Amino acid sequence: MAAPTVGTTAFDRATAVQPRADGIAVATVDTDWSAPTGPNGGYLAAIVVRALQAIADPGGDLRLRSLTLHYLRGAAAGELEVAVEVLRRGRRVSSARISARQGDRAVLEGLAAFSAPDLPSPVTWTPRLPDVGPPPALDAGGLPVGEYRPGDRWMQPAPQMPAVVHQVRLAPQLGGIPMAGRVPEPGGAVESGGWIALPEPRVIDAPFVALAADIWWPPVFEAVSRPVLAPTIDLTIHFRASLPPAGLAAQAVFGHYRSTAATGGFVEEDGLLFLADGTLLAQSRQLALLAPVG
């Protein structure tokens, strides 16, 4: 059995996988990375990315381009088996199927696409990084506990906030205060976002990008006036930067999240992830259940 993919940071340890010869990578779900309804969807996506890299691309010759996950039920603490089946190996694009289980319980299903590192593009354009201030220094101090005020400092989570928020560093720049009851006019939207980093600086790689795609509180939280649950039903991440296996230098990334429709008990969310120099890292889209607490 191959050695586990364990790094030096808490994030690396919490997302480590141990690949087996039968195409299954074994991880241990850590509930310190949980949202109110169970382990955070971005955290589970990061585990899946590690499983894909270990089994479908152990040599690091390809670049993950697309990952779509359907979350079937909340994961529990403990062992998670992620089965990876390579469906096609092509000259430009390769595809794989993912199925994760805990015992006899299916947790998630998904599909992924890889490509060669640098395919030519006949045209190029990307979205722009919003006009916000620079990220706080990785060693900058924090705002008063629970404050959401935009600025050049990191938010200090209040004790009652979900466990996963205490595992990351967030510096709000967009959107308002959760549970403000600000419902958009028809045709409008709610948005949220800001700078994202980890307490222990580490490289920017595909597992971290997967985490960041679903780490921020949902923008719809600003539109409600009382607590709600918003578990992810499905999440698609398009990895737009060609991230080398060793990753990019440790730095904060900017997440911009936007929702335009809440209806029928569901809300969508579109996300953009940028480096501070404006490089587009990823685009994401998810559908979440929207339900009152209790």
pLDDT, the chain, mean: 93
Question: pLDDT tens, 108-166?
Answer: 999 999 999 988 889 999 999 999 989 998 777 788 877 777 878 899 888 888 999 99
| Residue 280: strand pairing partners | 274
Query: Which two structure tokens, joined as six digits, stand for 160?
Result: 């009652």
Look at residue 25 and tell me whether its pLDDT is greater than 60.
Answer: yes
pLDDT, mean of residues 227-234 = 95
CA angle 274/157/223 to nearest 5° reads 70
- Say which DSSP state 45 is in: H
What pLDDT band is residue 248 in, cutting at 50, 70 and 90?
Answer: very high
Q: Is the residue at 2 inside a domain? A: no
Question: pLDDT tens, 250-280?
Answer: 999 999 999 999 999 999 999 999 999 999 9
Domain count, the chain: 1
Q: Is the residue at 42 inside a domain? A: yes
What pLDDT band is residue 294 in, cutting at 50, 70 and 90?
Answer: confident
Q: Is the residue at 121 inside a domain? A: no
Contacts of 133 (CB under 8 A, 6+ apart): 150, 151, 152, 173
Q: Is the residue at 145 inside a domain? A: yes
What pLDDT band is residue 4 in, cutting at 50, 70 and 90?
Answer: very low
Q: Is 152 helix (H, G, I), strand (E, B) or coil?
A: coil
Look at residue 2 and tell me whether its pLDDT is greater than 50.
Answer: no
CATH number of 50's domain: 2.40.160.210
Q: Which residue has the tokens 């955070």?
A: 40
Query: Which two structure tokens, joined as six digits, stand for 95?
Result: 């595809």
Q: Is the residue at 124 inside a domain? A: no
- How far is residue 259 from each of residues 37, 128, 165, measured CA to CA in Å? 20, 18, 21
Domain that holds residue 211: 10-116+132-292
Q: Is the residue at 4 inside a domain? A: no
pLDDT, mean of residues 212-217 = 97
Q: Is the residue at 126 inside a domain? A: no
What is the pLDDT at residue 7?
A: 65
What is the pLDDT at residue 144?
A: 81
Question: pLDDT tens, 72-108?
Answer: 999 999 999 999 999 999 999 999 999 999 999 999 9
